[in-house]
Every structure is written in C-alpha cells, then in structure tokens.
C-alpha cells in the first residue's frame, strides 16, 4: 500500500488488518514517483513486488490532503521555505493540471478534492512505468487499485 504520511490515515485500521498483513510505504501526498527517479518510495515498491511478491498495490489517497492543497498555496513572506517539500510535490503537477481542467468544465467541483483524486490516478499510471510491474500485470500476477 502506498499512502500519505498524514497521521489521520491508518491503513491497518481502515482495512481491519493485523500486524504483518500490509506492506505500507508512506510519503507526503501518497505519491508514486516516476520509475526513472531513485528514492525510498521506489525502493519500497521494488522490494514489495520483487521480493515479497505482493499480489496487489493500493494507492490510498484521502480527502483534505494538505499536499494537494499546498499545490495552490502562495507562500507569504513570513512563512518558512519548504524547498524539499516543493521539490517532492512537483510529482503532483500532472494531477493539478487535470484537476484544473475538470474544475474549469464544472466549477461546482472542489479543486483540492479533484487534485487528490487525480493524484491517485497519476500514481497508478506511474506504477505502470515500472518494468517489473508491467511484467506482472501482463501475467495477471499483480493488480493495481486506487
């Protein structure tokens, strides 16, 4: 499971799972980065798929996501600079673009919630870039869910 580092999200509680039943990686915004970039999220995915042979990957997003809201935040002069956060959240730019297009077509929709939903979709699409996931998808040895 790939989920947000937000403390309100407790995957084991949500899925009624016991210790050892879930392999979870958490990061700001439940982001799956591109396969071409190295990082701890990609390392966790690689290990879970290639060593643990997990049968399913779930990207678990959530409402009121601060990472998605941060995409629209204009920093004020007295706020701290969050250079690492801003760099990480570049991964959410495609979701923001899709959300802005959808919101433009229907202004009654909440842009932050749209961004959170599109972020899950983008993360699922990125998982399909990983060669070992592609291989398992073709053989029906893994499924992806958002």
Q: What is the CATH number of the domain that holds 123?
A: 3.40.1050.10
Q: Residue 38's CB: how many other CB atoms inside 10 A?
A: 9
Catalytic hit among 26, 62, 73, 104: 62
CA 14 to chain centre: 17
* Residue 86 annotated in active site: no
Give the residue numbers spanning the domain of 74.
2-145
Half-sphere exposure (CA, 13 Å, Cβ side) for 128? 11
Question: What total of structural domains would you count in the chain?
Answer: 1
- Give me the pLDDT at residue 109, please: 84
Catalytic hit among 8, 78, 84, 106: 8
pLDDT digits (tens, 9 = 90+) for 73-97: 888 888 898 899 999 999 999 999 9
pTM of the model: 0.91
């Amino acid at each position: 499971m790939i989920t947000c580092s937000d403390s309100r999200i407790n995957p084991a509680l949500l899925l009624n799972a016991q210790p050892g039943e879930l392999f979870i990686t958490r990061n700001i915004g439940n982001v799956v980065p591109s396969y071409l970039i190295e990082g701890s999220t990609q390392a966790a995915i690689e290990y879970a798929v290639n060593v643990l042979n997990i049968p399913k990957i779930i990207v678990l997003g959530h409402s009121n996501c601060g990472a998605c809201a941060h995409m629209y935040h204009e920093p004020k002069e007295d706020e701290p600079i969050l250079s690492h956060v801003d760099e990480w959240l570049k991964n959410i730019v495609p979701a923001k673009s899709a959300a802005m297009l959808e919101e433009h077509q229907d202004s009654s929709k909440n842009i932050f919630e749209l961004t959170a939903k599109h972020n899950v979709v983008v993360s699922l699409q990125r998982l399909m870039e990983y060669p070992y996931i592609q291989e398992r998808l073709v053989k029906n040895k893994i499924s992806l869910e958002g």
